[in-house]
Amino acid sequence: MEFIESLNWRYATKKFDPSKKIKQEDLETIKEAVRLSASSYGLQLYKVLVIENPEIREKLKPASWGQSQITDASQLIVFCNYTDVTDEHIDDYLQLKAETQDLELEGLKDYGSMMKGSMAGYTDSQKNQWTAKQTYIALGNLLAVCSILRIDACPMEGFDPVKYNEILGLTENGLNASVIATIGYRSEEDKTQFLKKVRKPAEALFEAI
């Protein structure tokens, strides 16, 4: 029930208090929650940028429709998906799996071949879309843990990925800015916090089959 109360507490914060910063220990908790997110095959084909540099954030603001959250929040989080899925990505994961779970790498060969075969059937566009979807799972973890910590967050799709990619030098590293979030503490001037949460009733959302 405490988790449900936390979800009821959170809202998409429209105006942050720039004078309030997230404590480092809380930031580490948020990062760990994101790191532990589920992902297809466990591959985690994305990187997460935690941007605090004010100059970079000022450059990103015009590419974010001028929204104040970009510069006023404690941190700007940019979820970047890999636009391609390579054999190296899969091999790196298998190596990590073998080391973490004390397994013989050779015993994972068939699993690796299955993943590589599956990816071979995807077009470049499908690979990009597939990896981008994975970042939204990680975003969900970020929003959930922030609500538990009573840290405000705002998930945002209102930005120009092409300009983000250019400013942050993502394209040359095989990455794409797929979704962003700002985290920090709400401003007392943010009137959105006083609005009732609008969600469909359970009977309209769920259907037992």
- Residue 9, domain CATH: 3.40.109.10
**DSSP code, position 14:** S
* Domain-located, residue 182: yes
* Domain annotation covers residue 94: no
Question: Is 152:186 a contact under the CB 8 Å cutoff?
Answer: yes
The tally of domains found in the chain comes to: 1
Residues of the chain scoring pLDDT < 70 = none
Instruction: Give the residue among 120, 134, 139, 151 at the shortest CA–CA distance from 81.
Output: 134
Q: Which residue's entry shows tokens 């959930």?
A: 144
What pLDDT sits at residue 51?
A: 98
Helix (H) or strand (E) run with residue 134 in it: helix 124-148
Position 105 in a domain? no
**Domain residues for 25?**
2-85+122-205
Say if 201 falls within a structural domain.
yes
Q: Flag whether 70 is in a domain.
A: yes
The pTM for the full model equals 0.96
